[in-house]
Amino acid sequence: MEMTDLDFAEMVESVFSGMLGFELVRTHTEGEPEPGDRFIGTVHISGSWEGSVVVECPEKFGRLVAAAMFGNEPDAVEDDEIVDVVGELANMTGGNVKALLEGEATLSLPTVVRGADFRVIVPGTHLTRSLAYECSGHVFQVRVLSKNPS
Amino acid sequence: MKILIVDDSKAMRMIVRRQCNEIGLGESEFIEATNGVEGAAVIKEQQPDLVLSDWNMPEMSGIEMLEALNADGVSVKLGFVTSESQPSYKDRAIEAGALFLISKPFNAETFRRALGQFV
């Protein structure tokens, strides 16, 4: 798959900033994670390229995004609305990654998990792209995991 | 005008509706369905003037819904609003009679170009 760091960054920014109107600032992925629950949305791509796209955000950021999408106050957002939004963000990002592929591929429906002390592992994959952004005081990450050789 | 929005994501249904409002379709009657099975049933029952459908959904995808409606002889004006953007998907959509395919992320201008004939 021909995807440069710049392609990936533009894609992520077009989803989060272009469509949702959030101002994003690139940041680093290391450091202490924000305390509290996180939501992780994942979609899988299979076909000419095999891998996964993962969107991870703190619960408070997911709540802000859901509030913006639903036109609610953050405190009025229901958990299933955050699940919906995080899944949709993974879906949109995954669809744009898939658009860069040559050859046929299919995109799975998103899965979303919530928790405080866990990580998502997709067996047989390795990390090929990772970006972190700061937005409204929270850090979220977007990662591409590939089953194909580097 | 009656517009049916078919999408398994409540957030996307809301965003699609908001884009319709922005391009001047806010006076329309909006109805919703959450997958292709529901969408096909609503189309047959309520005959919307326009359908805006996601592609990937549980139970039945948007393209399967359109192809099933074609097989049943049901005519509908339908456009896709989807994360899919590969040429083969656009070809299949057009072959099935879809009017357009809007890829996410999108903005009001994208909607205006695709839905101009309905405004």
User: What's the CATH number where B35 sits?
Assistant: 3.40.50.2300
Among B12, B58, B85, the residue with its CB nearest the CB of A99 is B85
**Is A53 touching B (CB cutoff 8 A)?**
no
| Count of domains observed in chain B | 1
| B8, closest residue in chain A (CA to CA) | A84
Contact A144, A94 (CB under 8 A): no
- Architecture of the domain made up of A5-28+37-146: 3-Layer(aba) Sandwich (3.40)
**How distant is the Cα of B73 from the closest Cα of chain A, in angstroms?**
28
Instruction: Give the C-alpha separation, A128 to B115, whole Å.
Output: 38
- Cα–Cα distances in angstroms (integers) from residue A131 to residues A56, A107, B57, in the given order: 11, 21, 28
Find the mean pLDDT for residues A68-75: 89
Using a 10 angstrom Cβ sphere, with 0-12 exposed, 13-18 middle and 19 or more buried, the burial of residue B68 is middle
Among A94, A98, A109, the residue with its CB nearest the CB of B86 is A98
- What is the predicted ipTM? 0.87
| A108, closest residue in chain B (CA to CA) | B56
- For chains A and B, what is the number of CB pairs under 8 angstroms? 63
- Residue B100 has, within 13 A of its CA and on its CB side, a CA count of 15
- Cα–Cα distances in angstroms (integers) from residue A106 to residues A44, A103, A117, B48, in the given order: 8, 10, 31, 30
Is the confidence at residue A88, as pLDDT, over 60?
yes
Give the residue numbers spanning the domain of B54: 2-118
What pLDDT score does A93 carry? 94
pLDDT band at A149 (very low <50, low <70, confident <90, very high): low
Contacts of B106 in chain A (CB under 8 A): 19
Among B15, B105, B106, the residue with its CB nearest the CB of A69 is B15
Contact B36, B57 (CB under 8 A): yes
Q: Where are the domains of chain A?
A: 5-28+37-146
**How distant is the Cα of A109 from the closest Cα of chain B, in angstroms?**
7
Q: What is the pLDDT of residues A9-34, one digit of tens each?
A: 988 998 888 777 888 899 876 666 78
Each residue's pLDDT, cut to its tens digit, for chain B (119 residues) gives 999 999 999 999 999 999 999 999 999 999 999 999 999 999 999 999 999 999 999 999 999 999 999 999 999 999 999 999 888 999 999 999 999 999 998 988 999 999 988 87
pLDDT band at A52 (very low <50, low <70, confident <90, very high): very high
